[in-house]
Amino acid sequence: MFITDRLVYVELQKTGCTHIGKLLAAVLPGRQIGKHNKPDAALLARRPIFVGSVRNPWAWYVSLWAYGCQKEGMLHQALTHRRGSPRGLGWRAEPTYALRRWWHSFAQQSRRWSELYRDAQNVDAFRTWLHRLHDWPRRWDCGEHFARHACCRSVGLMTYRYLDFFCSGNFRRIADLEGLMRFNQAHNYIDHMIRTEQLEQDLLAVLAAEQVPVSAEQRLQILGGGRSNASRGKRTTWQEYYDPACIALVAQRDQLIIERYGYQPPLL
């Protein structure tokens, strides 16, 4: 998180986090504490202004996969490396989960996952990866607590992470989309959401809403565009990776985010 006295930016992976953090640091004095971490109870109770960022789910999955093709990211690490011991999986904090995750790792087919990360230009590899990521028998592969939530049968990894990062409370037993939407409505603590597709404009709107002074030079810096820590080696557009089946899968699984932010599927 990027934390200032007035504002806290919570970073959902592959939504322009590094770039947004740099721009915020140029405008507001603050400090980076961890990355892709969540506010604790004390910070939530203090109630600063919370800012998050979100992205078109169809583009998000391509970026997440392509980042893995660079051998980067926690998801790539979890999918392609079989654990030798449950002690490296949070054994002390949650021994039951660590043991279950470790036991599953023997059937994980890590080599198959590695093959799907060989070439960021390979559309067939991406499509297979996307379907495997949401295949019920593979629900423990990602190394997150997704598999322990009733919604893992019905929502995508992006929606799970969105709810996990941006909501307080526990949604482990909520299986249906309507229930998750109600949970999000009641427990989402984010005051301002920046959409990656219009990052510069949304960031300036947040700063204006919170009456943060922005000089002409800082405004030009924000509007200068560019991205930090972008996935490399992808095709020209993320739309190229999709076929009708993959479009439909994301539309179904990440309906909560798609409807909430008005995202549209790629046109083939």
Distance CA 161, CA 145 (A): 10
| pLDDT string in tens for the chain (268-residue length) | 999 988 999 999 999 999 999 999 999 999 999 989 999 999 999 999 999 999 999 999 999 999 999 999 999 998 997 664 444 555 566 777 777 777 777 778 889 999 999 999 999 999 999 999 999 988 889 878 899 999 999 999 999 999 999 999 999 999 999 999 999 999 999 999 999 999 999 999 999 999 999 999 999 999 987 766 666 667 779 999 999 999 999 999 999 999 999 999 998 8
Which structural domains are found in the chain, ordered by start?
2-261 (3.40.50)
DSSP of 57-99: HHHHHHHHHHHHHTT-SHHHHHHH---S-GGGGTTTT-HHHHH
DSSP of 137-165: GGTTTTSSGGGGSGGGGTS-HHHHHHHHH
